[in-house]
Structure formats: C-alpha cells, structure tokens
Amino acid sequence: MSLLTAELLKLRTTPRSLTGFVILVVAIGGLGAAGMIGGTPAAERDLPQFDADLVGIAEAAALVSILLGITLVTREWRHGTITPTFLATPRRDRVTLAKLATAGVVGVLVAVLALVVVLAVAVPWLAVIDSPLEMNGDVRERMGLVLMTTVLWGLLGASIGSVVHSQVGATLGTILWFLLLEPLAAVTLGLLDADTVADYLPGSVLSSAGGGPDEGLSVSGGVLVALAYVAVIGTAGIVRTSRRDVT
C-alpha cells in the first residue's frame, strides 16, 4: 500500500508534466463533446442513443491513460530515479506491480475527469438548446464502459513500459502500433480471410471492451482478452525489470 501511495506521490510532485496530462484530458473531453453536439443535426440529437454516445466521447481519454501508464514506468529509467526506487524497494516485482496498480488508479481518475468535462460541456449546452441530457440506464452503462476502457489502457501502458524502458521507444512504438501497424495487420488478415484473428489484436480488443463497434468480440470477451494481454506483457515486464542491471 505504501508503494502505491508513493507512486501517486511521484505523479503529484511533478506538477508540470501532470498539468500537461490534465490539459490533454480536458481538451479531448471538451472538444469531443462540443464537436459532437455542434455537428449533430437537431433531429438526431433527440434519438435515445445520442446521450449515451455523447458520454462515450470520454473514452478517447484512454489515449492519455495509456501514455500516463507508459510514462510512470519509463520516466524512472529516463531520469535515473529507478536507482533510489530500487534501493528503497529491492524486490523489483513489487515495484512493477505497484506501478501497474497505480496505472489502474490513474485510469479511474482519467475517466472521472474526462466524464466531468464532457458533462460540464454537454449538460448546460443541451439544456439551452432544449434537448436536455437524460441520465438513463444507457448513459450510466456507457460511463461504466468509459471507466473500464481507461483502466485497461492504463494497465496496458504500464505493462508496456515495464518491458520497453525507453520512454521515447515505448511511447512511439505504442502509437505506431495502434495507428499504423495494427490497421495494416488487420487489413492483411482480412485479405487472408482471417478476420477473427484480427479481432484479437490489442486495439480491436480494447475497442470491444469499451463497447465499441458491433463486430469483433463482446464487451466481456474484450475485457477478458485485454486483461490477458496485461497479464502476459506485465509478467514479461516483471521478469525483464527484475533481471536488468541498473548501471
């Protein structure tokens, strides 16, 4: 427990980088919500699905979640603070597990912040244009999925960071995978008539876990496979971190 609170203290005590991540979440939530309300014709705004989809915009903050997950591991290697960290906690598996747990907590905070921002934009705006947001079961379920998504992405980020200790390498590699490599792989698999395999690629899995497009895995299936990814990559990270010489 003290390791978890120490990890959160590490985040709190670098105010500039923390502010950067907060601004990113606020921008993603605020601009996303504004764009969606402004860009949807009035007739569609009254459809029952609209409110849930609007709240679901907050899911985009999962990007910040994975970046934070990567950062909270890799910056310790980058700045050499991993040395005092390991001197204080020579059981490195505990350090890695504490960082994974921290990434989960951070994922919750990112979701809460993103949802608050989306609601702060949506509730008054929709009230003014006389199409008030209804806090129905669909909307609440969608909020739950946003939370689930940011937590899973955060966990994945921390496990990636514990395998690839270079901050730049882990960040660029992750972005490259989701933006370029996975779509290419999916297209290739589609050409080979192996679409079901593509459903198990990480980006597709995370999207399913967040209640994304109807094709692919179910929500629960997506969550389970995503957790399996975290377990496998996280275990590799624990092994890699425990073996590495800190020079």
Site of interaction with another protein (CB under 8 A): 2-3, 5-6, 9-10, 13-17, 75, 79-81, 83-91, 243, 245-247
Q: What are phi and psi of 170, to 5 degrees?
A: -65, -40
Kindly tell me which of 9 and 191 has the beta carbon lying closer to another protein: 9
Kindly tell me which of 79 and 140 has the beta carbon lying closer to another protein: 79
H-only helix segments in the chain:
2-12, 15-39, 42-45, 48-56, 62-78, 82-88, 92-128, 137-163, 167-176, 182-191, 195-198, 202-209, 219-243
- Cβ at position 238, least distance to another protein in Å: 14
Kindly tell me which of 35 and 80 has the beta carbon lying closer to another protein: 80
Kindly tell me which of 6 and 108 has the beta carbon lying closer to another protein: 6
Kindly tell me which of 91 and 140 has the beta carbon lying closer to another protein: 91
Q: Using alpha carbons, select from 220, 228, 164, 167 the residue that is nearest to residue 202.
A: 228
Cβ atoms of 163 and 234 closer than 8 Å: no
- Cβ at position 96, least distance to another protein in Å: 14
- Cβ at position 3, least distance to another protein in Å: 6
- Cβ at position 242, least distance to another protein in Å: 9
Kindly tell me which of 17 and 196 has the beta carbon lying closer to another protein: 17
The half-sphere exposure of 156 on its side-chain side, counting CA atoms within 13 A, is 27
- Cβ at position 85, least distance to another protein in Å: 7
DSSP 76-114: HHHSSTHHHHHHH---HHHHHHHHHHHHHHHHHHHHHHH
- Cβ at position 9, least distance to another protein in Å: 5
Structure tokens at 91: 């059981």
Q: What is the DSSP letter of 164?
A: -
Q: Using alpha carbons, select from 171, 176, 174 the residue that is nearest to residue 74.
A: 171
